[in-house]
């Protein structure tokens, strides 16, 4: 029984059957992919196993072939592994086929790595980072990412030539890794991969004109010394402050709507006031009293970076598999004619 199972798993005919079945299933099924974006459009945004569990399982009429193809590929991987092991056992007689069998081993490792990454990985396809504001990685508690600097590079009009983010990966309190990320230059760190996707601009404050013609910018955290000895501290700037019917305030959006500052004024006589200043709605008298006489003229924007942050525990294994495949295929390629001349091949 054991021997029969082993022989079946090492059988070349089984390999051809499985490869043909997987090919036919994927051929037919894949034609559904471009026409059902709702179901298949999210496949690259989550690991494969998550997609199977969360999306495909709810659309079995469109996705049944995927389950079957996945099962066949697993069997095929097992089949390939057994062929490799069978060769390993007989390596003394069959060492000339090292290239071919490194290729087989490489395929098995890549398949395993893909399964591992699908089950244990996560993907964050559009993490938005503002300069200096650390963002927790939701799937990786205790870790955060901070954008220290962002530079889009343009040459003439058209899309950017590069989008360079200087990033720091924060691990608990300590910094664990700093790197520059750009197009085709990702940050790679223990299975984590960070690549640029896009960028945008968000308002971070307003520009003001003083009566003497000078310009000032006010951002969150700034302090302004006013002429009559008062101090104005900007607690925060929000791009769009709205009021509910019950009078409570809420921030609607990161884009510019009704810009507002939450400010704290320290008067020269020692008194203080804290409240909202909405430049489009006029100056509160508490600010007038403090001697604030700036006119808002324009919003100030700052770039933010949008990044893909993915974690794939199988990435290293996949790289090892890919390397073995490359070495194997090159060995097989360069020894092909010699082996053909020796008629060194199985006939079944």
Partner 1 sequence: MTNLHLLQAATACYALSVFAYLAQIVLQRNWLQRSALLLVSGGFLLQSACLAWRWQLAGFLPVTNLFSTLFFFSWALAACYLYFELRYRIGASGLFVMFLNLLLLSVALRRDAAIPPLVAALDTPFFSLHIVFSFLGYALFAMAFSLGGLYLIQRFLPLRQLPELPLLRKLNEEAIFLGFALFTLCLVIGAVWAYWAWGYYFSWNIKGIWSFLVWLFYAGMCHAKFIRRWQGTGYALLSIAGFGVVLFTYLGIGLLLDSNHPLE
Q: What are the residues binding partner 1 (CB under 8 A)?
A: 12-13, 15-16, 19-20, 22-23, 26-27, 30-31, 33-34, 40, 43-44, 48, 103, 114, 123, 158-162, 183-186, 193-195, 308-310, 312, 315, 318-319, 322, 325-326, 329-330, 332-333, 336, 340, 345-348
Name 278's Cβ contacts closer than 8 Å, sequence gap at least 6: 241, 258, 259, 260, 261
DSSP-based helix, strand, coil % in the chain, nearest 5: 40, 35, 25
Please say which residue, 206 or 312, places its beta carbon nearer to partner 1.
Answer: 312
Q: Give the residue among 241, 242, 275, 276 at the shortest CA–CA distance from 259.
A: 241
Name 148's Cβ contacts closer than 8 Å, sequence gap at least 6: 131, 132, 166, 167, 168, 178
Taking a C-beta distance cutoff of 8 angstroms, is the pair 279, 97 a contact?
A: no
Contact between 100 and ligand HEM (CB under 6 A)?
Answer: yes
Q: Give the residue among 179, 275, 314, 293 at the shortest CA–CA distance from 227.
A: 293
CB of 101 to ligand HEM, least distance (A): 7
Taking a C-beta distance cutoff of 8 angstroms, is the pair 321, 108 a contact?
A: yes
Taking residue 308's Cβ as centre, other Cβ atoms within 10 Å add up to 19
CB of 251 to ligand HEM, least distance (A): 53
Please say which residue, 258 or 327, places its beta carbon nearer to partner 1.
Answer: 327
Q: 60's torsion region: left (phi>0), alpha (psi -120 to 50) or beta?
A: alpha
Please say which residue, 288 or 342, places its beta carbon nearer to ligand HEM.
Answer: 342
Contact between 310 and ligand HEM (CB under 6 A)?
Answer: no
Please say which residue, 102 or 226, places its beta carbon nearer to partner 1.
Answer: 102
Strands (E) in 73-191, as ranges, are 122-130, 135-136, 143-153, 162-171, 174-181, 187-189
CB of 346 to ligand HEM, least distance (A): 5
Please say which residue, 210 or 333, places its beta carbon nearer to partner 1.
Answer: 333
Strand (E) or helix (H) holding 275: strand 272-277
Q: Give the residue among 210, 205, 208, 224 at the shortest CA–CA distance from 264.
A: 224
Contact between 15 and ligand HEM (CB under 6 A)?
Answer: yes
Please say which residue, 103 or 317, places its beta carbon nearer to ligand HEM.
Answer: 103
Judged by beta carbon distances under 5 to 8 A according to partner kind, the member of partner 1, ligand HEM, none in contact with residue 97 is: ligand HEM
Contact between 107 and ligand HEM (CB under 6 A)?
Answer: yes
CB of 310 to partner 1, least distance (A): 4
Please say which residue, 62 or 73, places its beta carbon nearer to ligand HEM.
Answer: 73
CB of 190 to ligand HEM, least distance (A): 29
**Cα–Cα distance list, 2 to 5, 8, 11 (Å):** 5, 10, 14
Radius of gyration for the alpha carbons in the chain, expressed in angstroms and rounded: 31
Please say which residue, 60 or 183, places its beta carbon nearer to partner 1.
Answer: 183
Binds ligand HEM (CB under 6 A): choice among 63, 80, 124, 310: 80
Contact between 345 and ligand HEM (CB under 6 A)?
Answer: yes
Piece of the chain touching ligand HEM by CB under 6 A; list 75-83, 161-169, 196-204, 259-267: 75-83
Judged by beta carbon distances under 5 to 8 A according to partner kind, the member of partner 1, ligand HEM, none in contact with residue 268 is: none
Long-range contacts of residues 3-11, Cβ cutoff 8 Å, at least 24 apart: 6/82, 9/78, 9/79, 9/82, 10/79, 10/82, 10/83, 10/86, 11/79
Contact between 79 and ligand HEM (CB under 6 A)?
Answer: yes
Tokens of 255: 């884009």
**Interacting residues toward ligand HEM by CB under 6 A:** 10-12, 15, 76, 79-80, 83, 97, 100, 103-104, 107, 332, 345-346
């Amino acid at each position: 029984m054991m021997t029969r199972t082993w022989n079946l798993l090492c059988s070349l005919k089984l390999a051809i059957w499985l490869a043909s079945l997987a090919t036919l299933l994927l051929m037919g099924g894949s034609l559904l992919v471009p026409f059902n974006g709702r179901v298949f459009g999210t496949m690259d945004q989550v690991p494969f196993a998550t997609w199977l569990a969360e999306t495909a399982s709810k659309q079995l009429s469109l996705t049944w072939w995927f389950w079957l193809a996945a099962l066949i590929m697993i069997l095929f991987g097992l089949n390939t592994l057994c062929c490799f092991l069978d060769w390993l056992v007989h390596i003394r007689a069959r060492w000339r086929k090292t290239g071919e069998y490194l290729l087989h081993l490489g395929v098995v490792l890549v398949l395993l790595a893909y399964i591992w990454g699908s089950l244990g990985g996560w993907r964050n396809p559009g993490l938005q980072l503002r300069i200096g504001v650390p963002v927790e990685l939701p799937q990786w508690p205790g870790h955060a990412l901070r954008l220290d600097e962002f530079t889009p590079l343009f040459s003439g009009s058209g899309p950017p030539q590069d989008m360079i983010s200087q990033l720091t990966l924060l691990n608990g309190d300590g910094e664990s890794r700093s790197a520059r990320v750009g197009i085709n230059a990702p940050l790679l760190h223990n299975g984590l991969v960070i690549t640029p996707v896009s960028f945008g601009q968000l308002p971070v404050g307003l520009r003001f004109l003083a009566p003497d013609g000078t310009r000032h910018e006010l951002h969150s955290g700034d302090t302004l010394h006013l002429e009559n000895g008062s101090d104005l501290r900007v607690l925060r700037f929000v791009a769009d402050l709205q009021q509910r019917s019950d009078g409570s305030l809420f921030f609607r959006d990161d884009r510019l709507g009704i810009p507002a500052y939450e400010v704290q004024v320290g008067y020269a006589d020692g008194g203080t006031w804290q409240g909202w200043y909405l430049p489009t709605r006029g100056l509160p008298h508490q600010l007038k009293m403090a001697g604030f006489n700036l006119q808002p003229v324009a919003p100030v924007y700052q770039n933010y970076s949008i990044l893909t942050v993915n974690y794939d525990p199988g990435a290293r294994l996949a790289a090892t598999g890919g390397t073995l495949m490359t070495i194997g295929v090159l060995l097989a390629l360069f020894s092909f004619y010699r082996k053909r001349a020796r008629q060194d091949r199985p006939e079944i």
